[in-house]
Amino acid sequence: MNPKDINDLVLFQIEKTNKVAKQHGQRAFEQHGLGITIAQWVLLKIIQEQAPLSQRALADFSVRDPASITRTMDLLSKKGLIEREPIPTSRRQYEVKLSKQGEIFVNKNMELVKQLREQSVIGISQEEQSLLIQLLQRIQQNLE
């Protein structure tokens, strides 16, 4: 394929889809008064599924830089949604897990997130979703 303009580029469409999805999700979060960003939600969900994990592991898993993770962890900690405990074998690293309040928050708002996810794939079959995931993973591997 010889793209004629930027709209014909796969990576441009991936970036555009990502931005539209974040904007749509953020509007819904604001309408429902969640008080967090989509990026913060993603980290909370990763923590819920993977905890306990170090901030470094969280950065790697979420493909975000450690400094950004630290700033976000500070915000989530101030909101009472996460707990950080020192790792005994490391002076500079912390294990992160959801607080009780964080667990309640994630569980309470999971239905909204499920609705947003379902809306994003209306008209796309399970087979097409699986294929899309495989293709996106292949692109990621090509760029590692």
pLDDT at 131 over 80: yes
pLDDT at 109 over 80: yes
Question: Structural domain boundaries of the chain?
Answer: 9-113
Q: Tell me which residue of 67, 43, 68, 63 sits closest to 144, measured CA to CA.
A: 63
Interatomic CA distance for residues 93 and 86, integer angstroms: 6
List residues bridging with 54 in a β-sheet: 95
Burial class for 64, CB neighbours closer than 10 Å (0-12, 13-18, 19+): middle
Q: Tell me which residue of 67, 103, 64 sits closest to 83, measured CA to CA.
A: 103
Reported as a single tens digit per residue, the pLDDT across 20-68 is 999 999 999 999 999 999 999 999 999 999 988 988 899 999 999 988 9
pLDDT at 2 over 70: no
User: What's the whole-number average pLDDT of the chain?
Assistant: 94
Q: What is the pTM of this model?
A: 0.88
What percentage of the chain carries pLDDT values higher than 70? 98
Q: Domain 9-113 adopts which CATH fold?
A: Arc Repressor Mutant, subunit A (1.10.10)
Q: Map residue 82 onto helix, strand or coil.
A: strand
